[in-house]
Copies of this chain bind each other. A is one copy, B any other.
Amino acid sequence: MGTKEYFPGIGKIKFEGAESDNPLSFKFYDPEKIIGKKKMKDHLRFAVAYWHSFCADGTDPFGAATHLHPWVADAKNPIEVAEHRMDAAFEFFSKLGVEFYAFHDRDMAPEGETPVESEKILQTFVARAKDKQQETGVKLLWGTANLFTHPRFMNGAATNPEFGVVALAANQVKAAIDATIELGGLGYTFWGGREGYMSILNTDLKREKEHLARFLISARDYARKQGFKGAFYIEPKPCEPTKHQYDRDVETVAGFLHMYGLDQDFKVNIEANHAELAGHDFVHELETAAALGIFGSVDANRGEPRNGWDTDQFPHSYYETALAMYTVLKVGGFTTGGLNFDAKIRRNSTDPADLFIGHIGGMDAFAAGLEIAQRLIEKAVFSSFIKERYSSFDSGDGARFEKGDLSFEVLASLGTEYGTIGIRSAKQELLENLFNQQLLRL
């Protein structure tokens, strides 16, 4: 903790169980509890997002700041704000009991007058954060660079029509990669905030996407040369602030990575709210990434299904958290990734405790989801049905087909009788009922 306590009156958040009436306690998240073969905390690997929790202030497109942070109040300049903010952040991480955080360069360190100065300021704050990490044991899940707030990025960063902006973006990313390495970050994320278009009438999308690939290839090469062993993440999002963002969804990103030979180094950081904006279930994106071998990390939040923008609310539905953890368990758990709360409390949640309450809700929702998922796996609720359903491909001609050992003529020649083949119930309602049953047996 820093010299000043920013969340006075709130101590370490503890597990108190489902009957507790204390809003500042965990009802389901019991970090040391063993689920399967690991502790709950090692399954879930929660991270707090520096930007939403410590930089955002409740401003929305129609209104001014409502979150008047104490770390801003007494500070005399942006540097002091950033110092206080870091104290507050690590105090929060510790009290909440998460092991990870994630940040953009500009969240932690204000921009200077020149690129050189900006990098120096960043380095100062990285040194400070390194100390904080050591003191608290909190680790860096991933770092990234903010390539969207400054007006110079209004037409994109790596995909900007002006080469000079691309160079500035590289300058900034290089410093952010260095910072991530210095802080022992397990990953480095690219979220293409403005890598897309507002209007196709003024855009050369082929050239822009090639620039993006070129940028990523050389950034990766640089980081690897510096000894970075972590994962690179692309974070799919279909739009906002752009009309169309190139990294639309997991499949789009997978195709792009494959075409440019990036699929060995890059994985996806999947956000629930972005999935929704792209017209997908969260679990669809997770399963797709798993199937394509690029599952990396999760930005744990939720959208508001009735609104068409990125509301970044805290996770809530056990249906979503259970299916998400089900996929995570199926792929063998997180390696470099984790559950990063890319979520913010509502603009009108103005009590200091609300920041804790939001995170607690998200953590409890995922803890319960993990338990439900574990149960689904142990009881083979879905998997036994699926195994049987595709069993005709496990041997005989079906297996030969899968291996590519059947020519089309031979395959066609096997389809000689219509009969009643194909009329086999897919049992959707049954599986949904079983899911509902397990959910409430927790």
Contact = CB atoms under 8 A, between A and B. Distances in A.
Nearest to A66: B151
Interface stretch (A89-97, A124-132, A387-395): A387-395
B155 A348 contact: yes
A350 B152 CA distance: 12
A319 B278 CA distance: 23
Given A61-B241, A163-B401, A115 B418 contact: yes
Contacts of A436: 27, 316, 318, 361, 364-365, 368
Interface stretch (A33-41, A74-82, A182-190, A306-314): A306-314
**Which of the four size classes fits the interface of chain A?**
35 or more
A174 interface: yes
Given A287-B205, A348-B428, A440-B318, A165 B63 contact: no
B222 A408 contact: yes
Contacts of A402: 207, 210-211, 214
Interface stretch (A4-12, A227-235, A332-340, A351-359): A351-359
**What copy number does this chain have within its complex?**
4
A389 B156 CA distance: 13
A153 to B, nearest CB: 6
A135 interface: no
A137 interface: no
Contacts of A23: 430, 433-434
Contact of A155 (B153, B306, B424, B432): B424
Contacts of A357: 427, 429-430, 433
A386 B271 CA distance: 32
Interface string A318-356: 110001000000000000000000000111111100100
A161 B114 contact: no
A378 interface: no
A32 interface: no
Contacts of A198: 346-348, 426, 428
Interface in A399-437: 401-402, 404, 406-409, 411-418, 420-437
Contact of A423 (B151, B256, B279, B317): B151
A364 B433 CA distance: 8
A201, A251, A368 interface centre (most CB from chain B within 10 Å): A201
A169 B349 contact: no
A199 interface: yes
A408 B390 CA distance: 47
Contacts of A238: 279
A60, A217, A345, A430 interface centre (most CB from chain B within 10 Å): A430
Given A64-B150, A291-B209, A390 B204 contact: yes
Interface in A205-248: 205-207, 209-211, 214, 217-219, 221-222, 238-241, 243-244, 248
A259 interface: yes
A244 B307 CA distance: 9
A348 B243 CA distance: 13
Contact of A170 (B65, B393, B411): B411
A404 B63 contact: no
Contacts of A2: none
Nearest to A388: B161
Nearest to A208: B390
A203 B421 contact: no
Interface string A193-205: 1100011111111
Contacts of A193: 62
Nearest to A286: B200
A277, A279, A291, A364 interface centre (most CB from chain B within 10 Å): A279
Contact of A171 (B114, B166, B221, B413): B413
B429 A314 contact: yes
Report, nearest first, the 3 A-B pairs whose CB atoms are least far apart: A308-B308, A255-B255, A152-B422
13 contacts: A64-B150, A114-B418, A115-B416, A172-B415, A200-B284, A207-B393, A210-B402, A240-B309, A279-B279, A308-B309, A349-B426, A350-B425, A351-B425
